[in-house]
Amino acid sequence: MRPRSAIGPALTLAALVLPACGPARTSVTLRLDDGAAPVARAQVRAVALGLSPVPLPVSLESLSQSAAQTGVVALSDDRGLVTLSLYAGRSHLIEVLPPADGPPPEQPRLWRWYLDEHARDLREPFRADERNPPGMRAALVR
């Protein structure tokens, strides 16, 4: 009779428990408009700031964070609303591309905002050379 290995059940248990140990998430809804009307089907990407791709020091939390997806991509709906599931307690860079089905822009357009770690304040970049071009506005929906 062969002895039973404990590795299989231990890996199964780790696979079930590790996602529950992951970082907390929060939902944030943004409203996108062009100043006159909602912008539908805009591509919105949120990237958590301050997450290292190198999980040092090694812990369950750092391993979970490095394995987790740090970026989220979604499309705005017909009302210009988009809801993102973000890391709670982390600042995020929000990037918006115009709808792909619109007329081609004269120049590539990308709008950026920074969302604070409490998900209460959405700001444009501070540097003048990084300011957003006209044509897109974003606001937090409370």
- Give 23's pLDDT tier (boundaries 50, 70, 90): confident
Structural domain boundaries enclosing 52: 23-140
Question: Is residue 100, in this structure, part of any structural domain at all?
Answer: yes
Question: Is residue 9, in this structure, part of any structural domain at all?
Answer: no
Question: Is residue 52, in this structure, part of any structural domain at all?
Answer: yes
Distance CA 67, CA 92 (A): 18
Domain at 96, CATH number: 2.60.40
Question: Is residue 18, in this structure, part of any structural domain at all?
Answer: no
Distance CA 30, CA 13 (A): 37
Q: What is the arithmetic mean of pLDDT over 49-76?
A: 66
Question: Is residue 5, in this structure, part of any structural domain at all?
Answer: no
Question: Is residue 4, in this structure, part of any structural domain at all?
Answer: no
Q: What is the arithmetic mean of pLDDT over 9-16?
A: 50
pTM: 0.70
- SS3 of 56-117: CCCCHHHHHHHHCCCEEEEECCCCCEEEEEEECCCCEEEEEECCCCCCCCCCCCCEEEEECC
Question: Is residue 16, in this structure, part of any structural domain at all?
Answer: no
117-136: pLDDT as tens digits: 999 999 998 887 788 888 89
Question: Is residue 7, in this structure, part of any structural domain at all?
Answer: no
Domains in the chain, number? 1
Spatial strand order in the sheet of 25-33: 81-87, 25-33, 137-140
